[in-house]
Amino acid sequence: MLATDRAIASVPAASRTPRRMLFRSALITALFIAPATVVRVIGLHPDPVVALLIFGAAVVSASFLLAWAAEAAQIDVSGGLAIAVLALVAVLPEYAVDLYYAFVSGHNPEYTQYAAANMTGSNRLLMGLGWPVVVLVSIVAARRIGTAKATGLTLEAANRVELGFLLIAGVVAFAIPVGGEIHLGLGLALLAWFGFYLYKVSHGDVEEPDLVGTAAALGELSDRTRRAVVVSLFVVSGAVILLCAKPFADNLVAAGTELGIDRFLLVQWLAPLASEAPEFIIATIFATRGKGTAAIATLISSKVNQWTLLIGSLPVAHLLGGGGFALELDSRQIEEVLLTAGQTLMGVAVILALRFHRAAAWTLLGLFLVQFPITSTPGRLVLCGVYAVIAVGGLIVNRRYVAATLQAPFLGTAVRHAGHPHHPGAESALHR
């Protein structure tokens, strides 16, 4: 898909008609979606590894359709409705898989570990890989255009609202490893916090979106045609995701057994990587085009969604699946949640001054990568300690910004473009 957008961008302007770009993108995505649809509708049962590839490709392709439609929809939908729709569709692929695991865990306790794994993996992947890569790519892009001494990104003042929501939710989420469970009460509180977040950002300013690639091609269509195509993309992508979420999740577990791979790790990393690929790619494209601040703002907003809406939804799905009022976690899952909470607190602490330094990006990325060879409880606890030490250090260094960040969700209104990279007012500001 990234190659598709790059190819589109490289075609001469005279020949880059919206319909041609849309046809090319539609054709490529259809080629990946069609096999999964045929297998699902006919009721075939291929080898788990083959099925994983078929359904995984469909989920990724549907995610791209959602991303393009959500970007183009900003032209026609404004205010609170746009924020609500964009927030929900952006997380649909990932949440469909994780909520399926949580639902099944209500009557099959073995699936509890997979619900926790998918949640912790998606959160750590977003902050440990997505955040630093966007910052580092932005620095490289800045140097390419002559800003040779750029050492990081300076965020917009409006981003303090997202950081405030994330900081408070991050601290509250430590109740999970402490209690050894994700209780329905905590889940409802996080869902309410997410609702308040939507309310805040929906009352901010709305600006004209700055679209690229396939989304830009959609934006150039006539109003009636564009709206029809966008609605169709939402319907088709949603149907594909709902059709493929269950077999993708089931075959992910089965493939782990067949390949001799730890199923917990496979669910923790492969599924989130597949569902978040479109968002990562789009954010990286914007970073390469000098809009790193807007790109990282999008990923910060996504982290707020994951750390509130995703976690909050798990005990609800568990209850609806026949479980109790809490999603009980074993020692391994508790360690994973503790790691994720520690990373979250560290990530917020080091950028409280609204400056994302290159050193902070490399540290987040390095700690993300070093976790993979760590397989023991003592090793994971040591890594938790490292996150905690850096987080405390960041809070001390940026102590004068802590109060302002905690107050930000309750004061004033958020600027609409704070969480979306598609606005010219959110251009990248690289500090020296």
Q: Enumerate residues 6+ apart whose C-beta is below 8 A from 176.
A: 182, 186, 311, 329, 334, 337, 341
Backbone phi and psi for residue 101, each to the nearest 5 degrees, phi listed first: -60, -45
For residue 321, pLDDT over 70 is answered with yes
Confidence of residue 8 (pLDDT cuts 50, 70, 90): very low
pLDDT for the residue numbered 396: 95
Within the chain, what is the greatest distance between any pair of CA atoms? 61
Helix (H, G, I), strand (E, B) or coil at 158: coil
Q: Domain extents for the chain?
A: 79-206+260-416
Beta bridge partners of 115: none
Average pLDDT over residues 43-47: 85
Worst-scoring range by mean pLDDT, 2-16, 155-169, 254-268, 279-293? Answer: 2-16
Query: Could you tell me the CATH superfamily of domain 79-206+260-416?
Result: NCX, central ion-binding region (1.20.1420.30)
Tens of pLDDT along 94-108? 787 888 889 999 999
Average pLDDT over residues 164-182: 94
Tell me the C-alpha distance between 7 and 388, whole Å: 43
Q: Enumerate residues 6+ apart whose C-beta is below 8 A from 254.
A: 48, 51, 52
Backbone phi and psi for residue 286, each to the nearest 5 degrees, phi listed first: -65, -35
Cα–Cα–Cα angle for 46, 51, 56, rounded to 5 degrees: 165
Cβ–Cβ under 8 Å, residues 218 and 18: yes
How many CB atoms sit inside 10 A of residue 160's CB?
26
Alpha-carbon distances, residue 268 vs 54, 60, 185, 271 (angstroms): 19, 16, 25, 7
Sheet containing 429-431: which strands, arranged edge to edge? 355-357, 152-154, 429-431
Residue whose C-alpha is closest to residue 131's, from 321, 349, 290, 296:
296
Tell me the C-alpha distance between 104 and 109, whole Å: 8
| pTM of the predicted model over 0.85 | no
Tell me the C-alpha distance between 372 and 363, whole Å: 15
Tens of pLDDT along 217-260? 888 888 888 888 888 888 888 888 888 878 888 888 888 778 87
Tell me the C-alpha distance between 309 and 314, whole Å: 9
